[in-house]
Structure 1
């Protein structure tokens, strides 16, 4: 989240709430680390260097007890690069792999597909990582 501008950093003023965590569970699978956001969120990351890829496992956190329906999307410099389709609670996390060659910013977006609960459901970008030089 904070740093010296030489590595990827979350742009706090342009981002929703983010909980960087150790130990996330999606559909009974344990992930060592990642970021949890709400079911309606947008997180902007300034890459601050040449990066070639973003990888993660996107899913609804098991703390929802199987409830919640959202979709995940990744944008690079405002251009849509990847979309998950509908992801429900208790469904396996969806693998994310996005080519970031030539990109300066990445925006991770989660959108709800139902009522008020889906807007606040904990959604995970598990094992979230950037590959940079």
Structure 2
């Protein structure tokens, strides 16, 4: 009888990505370059790392909150593949539900690569709107920049959230 061919070995499964929550990243000036970190020297505006934030009446486990005119630079420090978040105006922003204040603090979110190219931009978001899910590939980037800008009158006084904000790396 003819010999039975030996089946090829099954390759091992791809390793699970390491996921870094942005609300748990270290703040860094020089950095230890072993994991993603928020670069204080390049970040414009305060970054509030939080748990239990709320957008459009829905509470999220974690995220970061900033004011418009902010730019948060995250040095990736390793090969990373994806950045994901749910974006919107934080429910702590006063006047979101007021009939006397119909502007509702319009803002726009965007993610930029370290090479200066915009990777993603949100529609105009207003207080009381539901969060918008976003995800963007960051393969080959050394850093990303999370930007929030006012998109109309009174947008500069809003609190803007990057809820469930996380980076997946190899």
Bin of the TM-score, shorter chain as denominator length: over 0.9
Matching residue of 1:57: 86
Q: Scaled by the length of structure 1, what TM-score is found?
A: 0.94
Runs of 4+ in structure 1 off by over 3 angstroms are none
Q: In the TM superposition, what are the counterparts of 1:59-78 in structure 2 within 5 Å? A: 59-64=88-93, 65-66=95-96, 67-77=104-114, 78=116
Q: CA RMSD in A?
A: 1.1
Q: Distance in 2 between matches of 1:96 and 1:74?
A: 10
- Matched residue count: 132
Runs of 5+ consecutive residues of structure 2 not aligned to the other structure: 1-26, 97-103
Of structures 1 and 2, the larger Rg is shown by 2
Show the counterpart of 2:40.
Answer: 12
Q: Which has the higher helix share?
A: 1
- Paired with 1:76 and 1:96, the residues of 2 have a C-alpha distance of 15
Displacement of 1:129 in angstroms is 0.2
CA distance in structure 1 between the aligned counterparts of 2:105 and 2:52, rounded to whole angstroms = 20
Could you list the per-position Cα deviations for residues 4-59 of structure 1 after superposition, in whole angstroms to 9, with x for gaps in the alignment? 32111111011121000011000011000000000221111100000000000000
Does the alignment pair 1:32 with 2:61?
Answer: yes
What does 1:1-133 correspond to in 2, within 5 Å?
Answer: 1-2=27-28, 4-15=32-43, 16-64=45-93, 65-66=95-96, 67-77=104-114, 78-115=116-153, 117-133=154-170
CA–CA distance in 1 between the matches of 2:155 and 2:71?
A: 15
Q: Which is richer in strand?
A: 1
TM-score, normalising length: structure 2: 0.74
